[in-house]
């Protein structure tokens, strides 16, 4: 079937493709969307695909300013999408260095280590996909749809044929930037309106409803739809309106304080401050909901996320086995890769030489063994870490590519693969007699690199599918992915370090050392990875809470609900999941109205719908504006300027805090109304 497929640009046609302007533009988009993904993943624990937004913008800018061909536009989106994939893998794992035993991993949470691991993981994901392209993308073209890749290919073809569909995405981006300026610079719009009942309310103590009313959260909710958004907020409702009120009523304040001391969030029960603002004299907390959340509920959520990841992985085991067997079998029969130099292979079938995979893997192991910025006190130990990375990488890159081919990148169980890798690595360490906190950073390196590689492999597969549809040269796509991985990693590391630096406002609220791990940037997956590594290698996991979370995830699965989405919602603050749910609810209303009118859209038409494009603009504009403002706030000179134009206190003085919150909520509702109106056009 694949042999009969005719790409949009025929193999015998030679047009501009791997050009300097396409690589430079792709790198710029990789930097922008990579930084935006870091911001979004640290705050919400979620990401959205960047390929289609980059393709839409590339087509528009390319047509008007750069006169790019369809193949150049494909290289732009291929290079740029690497930034989003790698950023997701970095943020989901490497912040775990901050949460290892006795702060032993904090020394590795530096720019050079983050940069090295991001580049190595990104290269590994692309490297392992070189021999798999022909077997998965070409030979199984009819059986593996690669939804995002197919949609992106259709977008590129639609752009070549003409159309002005990108205008809506730019409207969304402009709206989000203006909104973010009012919210994060002038503070005319409240950032997190909230309401909490009193601890001594005899009916419902310490229940909190809050929402980070930002454009990026509304956009994410619209893109993921009402079903997933509803499951996410359901987990938040359980944590913040069920478990926290119940535990704050049942557990004495001194016991909560003792648990915080055990977890390292409070120096001692006689020391004031810490999470929840403990008062040892009055034996009470200034914020009971925050104290209970950190002491108990977050651990329950971590157990649920771990179980949800495993369950997702277990459900895909038949796919994993068949995909691995099929891919290896295809490789044995397939000797086409690397024959480009002979000139006998059509342009659309020219891959990089397969020797690059072999020598690249060896070089990766050697570099990991000798680079001083990576954890490990001997070359032999670091060599074992490198070997584990390559072994797990070869397996999970294959698995990741096959799974995203069937169900799309959004449903790729990367968390489950990373958890399995981390636990497998810890068990290997224990088997060779390596236990204790000194080996925690080494285990996290393996888990982190596999997470980055699996995420990038999923994105790479979608890009190669787009290229196959439009008639790209695979070798040029693979080279552009390597370039995109390296360039975007440079900025991803910088963004992570900038966002980790507490601003003056954060310091005033008690965040003094690291912003990552605080309420501002919870980094849920990174915290979970650290919890697992510490617990397994020290034989000291808080099992009573973790197991409660495990069986919570099992309960959700028995109810027919995707446990991983619910678990992430239970782990995150309700302030994150509630605005995402509102965006999903708007999508539900739009779909319902379309259904009443009996309007049927294909997946490609849905991707190019005005609602999706405007929501994409909201995500990109809000996240990029958030990154820029967070970076400006990190410098003393600009921080004081931002403080000078902050209107929150004056507005709260005029309207009261309640009125200030209501005004901000009204403007958020206005943004939702605009999204609804545009989506219905």
Q: Dump pLDDT digits (tens) for 560-582.
A: 988 878 887 888 788 888 998 99
**Mean pLDDT calculated for residue range 321-326:** 57
What number of residues does the chain have? 681
Q: What is the reported pLDDT for 612? A: 82
- CA-based nearest residue to 461, from 489, 447, 481: 481
Q: What single DSSP character describes residue 285?
A: E
Question: What's the rounded Cα separation, in Å, for the pair 546 and 541?
Answer: 8
pLDDT digits (tens, 9 = 90+) for 244-258: 999 998 999 999 999
Share of the chain above pLDDT 90, in %: 25
Angle at which helix 543-558 crosses helix 298-315, to 10 degrees, equals: 50
Q: What is the dihedral of CA 496, 499, 502, 504, to 10 degrees?
A: 150
Q: Which range has the worst mean pLDDT, 67-81, 255-269, 340-354, 633-647?
A: 340-354
Please check whether residue 236 is in contact with residue 569, taking contact to mean a CB–CB distance below 8 angstroms: yes
Q: Against a cut of 0.85, is the pTM above it?
A: no
Residue 595 is predicted with a pLDDT of 86
3-state class (DSSP) for residue 302: helix
Using an 8 Å Cβ cutoff, are 119 and 83 in contact?
no
pLDDT at position 44 is 67
Using alpha carbons, list the distances in angstroms from residue 339 to 223, 327, 343. Answer: 41, 19, 7
Nearest to 177 by CA among 143, 219, 144, 139: 219
pLDDT at 331: 52
pLDDT at 335 (0 to 100): 47
Bridge partners, 285 (sequence order): 278
DSSP per residue, 498-536: HHHSPPHHHHHTT--S-SBTSSSB--HHHHHHHHHHHHH
Half-sphere exposure of 392 (CA within 13 A, CB side): 30
Q: At what angle do helices 574-596 and 215-238 cross, to 10 degrees?
A: 110
Task: Quote the tokens at residue 121.
Answer: 């993981």
To 10 degrees, the CA torsion angle through 424, 357, 479, 487? 40
Assess whether pLDDT exceeds 70 at residue 657: yes
Q: Cα separation of 9 and 112, whole Å?
A: 42
Retrieve residue 457's tokens.
Answer: 């492999």
Query: What sign results for the dihedral spanned by CA atoms 613, 615, 618, 624?
Result: negative
Place of tokens 């996290």: 444
Residue 605 has pLDDT above 50, yes or no: yes
281, HSE (Cβ side, Cα atoms, 13 Å): 1
Residue 340 has pLDDT above 80, yes or no: no
How far apart are the C-alpha atoms of 535 and 532, rounded to whole Å?
5
Estimate to the nearest angstrom the gap between the alpha carbon of 332 and the chain centroid. Answer: 35
- Rounded average pLDDT over 502-511: 82
Q: Tell me 189's DSSP state.
A: S
Stretch among 151-165, 248-262, 275-289, 540-554 having the lowest mean pLDDT: 151-165
Q: Quick one: angle between helices 524-538 and 414-431, nearest 10?
A: 20
Please state the rounded mean pLDDT for residues 338-365.
77
Q: Could you report how far apart the first and last alpha carbons of the chain are, in Å? A: 38
Q: What is the pLDDT of residue 337?
A: 43
What is the rounded average pLDDT of the residues 38-52? 74
Mean pLDDT estimate for the chain: 83
Strands 208-210 and 194-196, how do they pair? antiparallel
């Amino acid at each position: 079937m694949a042999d009969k497929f005719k790409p949009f640009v025929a193999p015998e046609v030679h047009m501009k493709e791997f050009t300097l302007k396409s690589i430079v533009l792709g790198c710029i988009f990789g930097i922008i969307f990579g930084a935006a993904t870091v911001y979004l993943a640290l705050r919400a624990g979620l990401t959205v695909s960047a390929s289609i937004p980059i393709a839409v913008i590339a087509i528009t800018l390319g047509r008007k300013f750069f006169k790019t061909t369809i193949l150049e536009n494909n290289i732009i989106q291929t290079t740029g999408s690497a930034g989003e994939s790698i950023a997701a893998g970095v943020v989901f794992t490497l912040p775990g260095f901050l949460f290892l035993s006795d702060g032993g991993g904090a020394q590795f949470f530096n720019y050079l280590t983050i940069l090295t691991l991001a580049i190595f993981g990104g290269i590994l994901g692309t490297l392992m996909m070189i021999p798999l392209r022909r077997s998965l993308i070409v030979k199984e073209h009819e059986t593996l749809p690669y939804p995002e890749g197919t949609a992106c290919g259709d977008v590129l073809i639609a752009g070549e044929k003409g159309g002005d569909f990108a205008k809506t995405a730019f409207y969304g981006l402009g709206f989000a930037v203006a909104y973010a300026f009012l919210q994060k610079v002038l503070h005319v719009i409240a950032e997190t309106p909230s309401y909490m009942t009193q601890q001594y309310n005899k009916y419902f103590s310490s229940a909190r409803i809050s929402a980070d009313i930002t454009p990026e959260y509304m956009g994410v909710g619209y893109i993921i739809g009402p079903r997933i958004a509803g499951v996410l907020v359901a987990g938040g409702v359980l944590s913040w309106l069920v478990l926290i009120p119940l535990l704050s009523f049942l557990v004495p304040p001194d016991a909560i304080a003792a648990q915080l001391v055990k977890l390292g969030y409070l120096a001692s029960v006689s020391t004031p401050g810490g999470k929840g603002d403990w008062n040892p004299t009055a034996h009470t907390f200034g914020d009971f909901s925050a104290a209970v959340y950190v002491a108990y509920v977050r651990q329950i959520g971590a157990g649920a996320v771990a179980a949800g990841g495993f369950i997702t992985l277990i459900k895909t085991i038949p796919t994993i086995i068949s995909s691995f067997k099929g891919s290896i079998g295809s490789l044995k029969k397939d000797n086409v890769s690397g024959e480009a130099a002979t000139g006998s292979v059509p342009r659309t079938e020219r891959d990089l030489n397969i020797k690059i995979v072999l020598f690249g893997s060896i070089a990766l192991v050697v570099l990991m063994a000798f680079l001083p910025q990576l954890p490990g006190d001997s070359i032999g130990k670091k060599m074992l870490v490198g070997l584990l990375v390559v072994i797990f990488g070869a397996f999970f890159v294959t698995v990741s590519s096959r799974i995203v081919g069937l169900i799309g990148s959004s449903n790729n169980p990367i968390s489950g693969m990373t958890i399995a890798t981390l636990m497998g690595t810890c068990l290997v360490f224990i088997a060779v007699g390596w236990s204790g906190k000194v080996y925690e950073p080494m285990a996290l390196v393996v888990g982190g690199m596999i997470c980055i590689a699996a995420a990038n492999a999923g994105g790479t597969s979608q890009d190669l599918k787009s290229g196959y549809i439009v008639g790209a040269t695979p070798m040029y796509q693979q080279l552009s992915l390597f370039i995109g991985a390296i360039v975007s990693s440079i900025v991803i590391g910088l963004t992570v370090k900038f966002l980790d630096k507490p601003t003056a406002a954060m310091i005033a609220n008690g965040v003094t050392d690291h912003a990552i791990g605080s309420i501002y940037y919870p980094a849920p997956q990174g915290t979970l990875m650290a919890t697992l590594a510490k617990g397994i290698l020290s034989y000291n996991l808080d099992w009573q809470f973790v197991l409660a979370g495990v069986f919570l995830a099992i309960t959700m699965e028995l109810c027919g609900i995707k446990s991983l989405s619910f678990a992430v919602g239970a782990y995150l603050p309700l302030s994150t999941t509630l605005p995402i749910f509102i965006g999903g609810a708007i999508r539900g209303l739009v779909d319902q109205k379309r259904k009443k009118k009996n309007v049927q859209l294909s997946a490609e038409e849905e991707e190019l719908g005005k609602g999706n494009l405007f929501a994409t603009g909201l995500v990109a504009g809000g996240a990029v504006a958030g990154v820029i403002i967070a970076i400006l706030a990190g410098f003393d000179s600009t921080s004081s300027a931002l403080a000078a134009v902050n209107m929150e206190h004056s507005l709260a003085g005029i309207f009261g805090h309640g009125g200030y919150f209501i005004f901000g909520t009204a403007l958020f509702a206005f943004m939702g109304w605009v999204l609804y109106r545009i989506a219905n056009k």
